[in-house]
Amino acid sequence: MGKKQVTFADIAAYTNFSKTTISRYFNHPDSLTLENQEKISQALDTLGYKKNKLAKVLANGKSEFIGIIIPNLYLHYYSEMLTQILSSYRDFHYKFLVFVSDNGPSEEEQYIDELMAYQIEGLIVLSHTLSSEKLASYQIPVIAIEREAEHICGVTSDNYMGALQAATLLIRDKCDVLIHVNADVPKSIPAYDRIRAFEDTCQEYHVPYELNLNVIGDSYQDIFAQMKHIFSDIDEKYPCKKKGIFLANDTYANMFLNLIFQKYGCFPDSYELVGFDNSPIASEAILPITTVGQQIDLIAKTAIELLVQQMEERKKRRPVPLSEPIHKQITPVLIRRDTTS
């Protein structure tokens, strides 16, 4: 370190004020005369003062830290969400301590303990490994994003509306049969609504449909191998029909599109494709893919506002805690591109 920090005491000695006055210069400048403000301001930069916010936190208990637990940044959905969350610094000036975790509950608990030790005022959870019951047991505001959130506040896409829009489009475009390709999603998580909405819509319009929930595997290669089978099954099963395929995400949709292209050398009229997420691959594919765009910026904004509101509430002399968790849904938008008519 060499020489130690310049502190209020140094400024006070230099200006012949007390430490309190220096403190007030920062927190209630109006209570000083302009003349004295100027004096202190000068002293500050002749002495080269640097703030120490940690000392401030210790004194007033407001860390202005928010913890984030996120499963990975590999998926565009997560990296974009993190970007949006971090950029809320411009509005609220909360600082973010970020942990990436996808290695099970014990690691995640350890991370949260560490975050608590740094006196975070709130927590944003995007990972799925800890139950909302467990998360609620930490005595701070917690916001879940796109995950099970029974006992805590949560923000999700309106998956039902998203899938409904996708299915409706395929039906309007006069597809003879609709097929939904997805992993075998557990019913507890929000994304399950995509399956529900697809079925409901097909039934409502009396359109033949099929659910293919057989996608499994972690790596791109694994999933691509699955997708090859799924494609050839579908391609053989409905030779003369116009097939409307709704895929669980844009990565799946891109794979499917590539398989079609590799077989036919073009995108034939007998297919329509809709993906989900509006991730970069949907734009960058051999043909821009129609997709359901989650409004990530809005989701992040909603989550932060919900969190900030609760954190501010807790700082009041007589805080009124939420009587029960608030849950919000953000409607996604259908983005029509070249894989639908």
Partner DNA sequence: TTGTACGCGTTATCAA
Partner DNA sequence: TTGATAACGCGTACAA
Q: How far apart are CA 12 and CA 155, in angstroms?
A: 48
CB of 93 to DNA, least distance (A): 14
Taking CB under 8 A as the rule, does residue 82 contact a second copy? yes
Taking CB under 7 A as the rule, does residue 322 contact DNA? no
Taking CB under 8 A as the rule, does residue 283 contact a second copy? yes
Taking CB under 7 A as the rule, does residue 16 contact DNA? yes
The two counts, helices (H) then strands (E), for the chain are: 14, 12
Q: What are the angstrom distances between the C-alpha of 228 and each of 29, 248, 275?
A: 68, 16, 17
Taking CB under 7 A as the rule, does residue 31 contact DNA? yes
Binding mask 158-197 for a second copy (x = CB under 8 A): ----------------------------------------
Q: How far apart are CA 279 and CA 152, in angstroms?
A: 28
Among 2, 3, 33, 218, binds DNA (CB under 7 A): 33
Q: What are the angstrom distances between the C-alpha of 47 and each of 3, 15, 41, 73, 246?
A: 12, 11, 10, 43, 65
Give the binding-site size for DNA (rule: CB under 7 A).
27
Contact 256, 243 (CB under 8 A): no
Taking CB under 8 A as the rule, does residue 97 contact a second copy? yes
The amino acid sitting at 157 is S
Stretch that binds DNA, among 11-19, 128-136, 198-206, 332-340 (CB under 7 A): 11-19
Q: How far apart are CA 336 and CA 74, in angstroms?
A: 25
Give the binding-site size for a second copy (rule: CB under 8 A).
51
Contact 159, 191 (CB under 8 A): yes
Tell me how far the alpha carbon of residue 195 is from its chain's centroid. Answer: 21
Contact 199, 246 (CB under 8 A): no
Taking CB under 8 A as the rule, does residue 239 contact a second copy? no
Taking CB under 7 A as the rule, does residue 26 contact DNA? yes
Taking CB under 7 A as the rule, does residue 4 contact DNA? yes
Taking CB under 7 A as the rule, does residue 52 contact DNA? yes
Contacts with a second copy in 102-131 (CB under 8 A)? 113-114, 116-119
Residue (288 or 325) nearer to a second copy, CB? 288
Contacts with DNA in 215-244 (CB under 7 A)? none
Q: How far apart are CA 118 and CA 97, in angstroms?
A: 9
Per the structure block, which two tokens stand in for 282? 């949907």
Which positions lie near DNA, rule CB under 7 A?
Answer: 4-5, 7-9, 16-21, 23-24, 26-27, 30-33, 36, 51-52, 55-56, 58-60
